[in-house]
Amino acid sequence: AQRVTQPEKLLSVFKGAPVELKCNYSYSGSPELFWYVQYSRQRLQLLLRHISRESIKGFTADLNKGETSFHLKKPFAQEEDSAMYYCALGTGGFKTIFGAGTRLFVKA
């Protein structure tokens, strides 16, 4: 079955603390993984994708095929990182499956 699991609905951290948003996937083929973010009152937008191996706004994510994970990490959280984060799995043919999302709240 094709599935994306984000185990935390809500993650609350203090400003300056490290943050890790977990994402696990289930897919028998070659996956393409994305992190999308939705800030308050803004549209859903791409944060990063595994194929580009970039660091965006200090966030990184590494695809671990052995653990079928694509966790999102940032060493020092900022208040402006507070948002809804969705992990998404591309299964080919332009079909995308979104995880349930994790709301990150960064406290001052």
Q: Is 34 in the site for other proteins (CB under 8 A)?
A: yes
Residue of 23, 37, 14 whose CA lies nearest to 71 = 23
| Burial category of 102 from C-beta neighbours within 10 Å (exposed 0-12, middle 13-18, buried 19 and up) | buried
Q: What's the one-letter identity of residue 25?
A: Y
CB of 66 to other proteins, least distance (A): 21
- Asked if residue 60 lies in contact with residue 52, where contact means CB atoms within 8 angstroms, the answer is no
Q: Which is nearer to other proteins, 69 or 91 (CB)?
A: 91
Q: Is 1 in the site for other proteins (CB under 8 A)?
A: no
CB of 106 to other proteins, least distance (A): 20
CB of 33 to other proteins, least distance (A): 9
Binding site for other proteins (CB under 8 A): 32, 34, 43-46, 49, 86, 90-101
